[in-house]
Structure 1
């Protein structure tokens, strides 16, 4: 007869999410996850196959991001910046930091690329006119990721102390220009 107190797959998933957000990818071990979940490390591997498999099962994108990208196109730039400023101390920031610490692994890098396309680039490109909708969407994503890196990962002290409305206006309008500006003339650079 099997013991009734074996932690469930969900318990392992919750423990892993907590540790990946708190300690990052490289700071989290299968043994640590098992200890928090109250099980043997072999059970973690049985359910998820590997630490990488478990990590991929735990990462997710904030649900606020699709809402922003589906909102009025003329305010997306500032809304993306507001999101970064608001979410800096939320689980979304912790998940992002964990993804970056694991992005040297090919399967995780591929998941990041696919997620960026599915959640950000694809939906935004579908809404942008002109000759370069996907390029514009990817450049918006790059600017967005740049602010996230500076604010969430590096914790730039000047940005952290700067006037938030000024950041929203300056950086948000910079992002917005990628969405609103006319297509470049062929041959101009």
Structure 2
């Protein structure tokens, strides 16, 4: 049983999640996390090893993506776009921004790659036919990430003010084309 005056690992985890989302990776310090959790910075390090270790234990991709990717294949493009537009003010957007700003660190870059593969590419590739299922899934992921960057990270003012149904139709159908189009003829470019 933990003494009353020492915050639990979960308390540190919750404080870190809030600060990473609010302040980003570089704007969050172990001291700040410890202060928010009400503990000594040494306790943060004891539980998580480092700021990077705590970050990797704290951030994750949205749990909504597996649901979207498991949905009807013919509507995945538009559903992915709706997700980006609808989630721009939710914590998932802050988590993504924090992950992106920390992606210069090798462990975090590897975690991003692994997460993208495990959560997005592999499940989608398993559902796509044709000669290039993994390539198509990775290209869908790249288009999805492009919209996230423009909408959540850069906050493109034209996109922010644009007609949402038009964005869903235009960009969603562009993503869907990667899923539905015929395979290219070998050597044709």
TM-score by length of 2: 0.98
What are the equivalent positions in structure 2 for 1:36-115 lying under 5 Å apart? 36-115=36-115
Distance 1:105 1:96 in 2: 15
Number of residue pairs the alignment of both structures matches:
188
Residue number in structure 2 paired with 1:117: 117
CA shift at 1:3, angstroms?
A: 5.0
Unmatched 5+ stretches in structure 1:
none
Kindly indicate whether residue 132 of structure 2 is the aligned counterpart of residue 132 of structure 1.
Answer: yes
CA shift at 1:116, angstroms?
A: 0.2
CA shift at 1:4, angstroms?
A: 2.7
TM-score by length of 1: 0.98
Distance 1:142 1:186 in 2: 22
CA shift at 1:63, angstroms?
A: 1.1
Distance 2:136 2:4 in 1: 54
Residue number in structure 1 paired with 2:179: 179
Unmatched 5+ stretches in structure 2:
none
CA shift at 1:62, angstroms?
A: 1.0
Distance 1:51 1:181 in 2: 44
Distance 1:119 1:3 in 2: 38
Distance 2:60 2:4 in 1: 30
**The residue matched to 2:87 in structure 1 has which SS?**
helix
Residue number in structure 2 paired with 1:20: 20
CA shift at 1:187, angstroms?
A: 1.5
Distance 2:3 2:111 in 1: 36
Query: What value does the CA root-mean-square deviation take over the aligned residues?
Result: 0.8
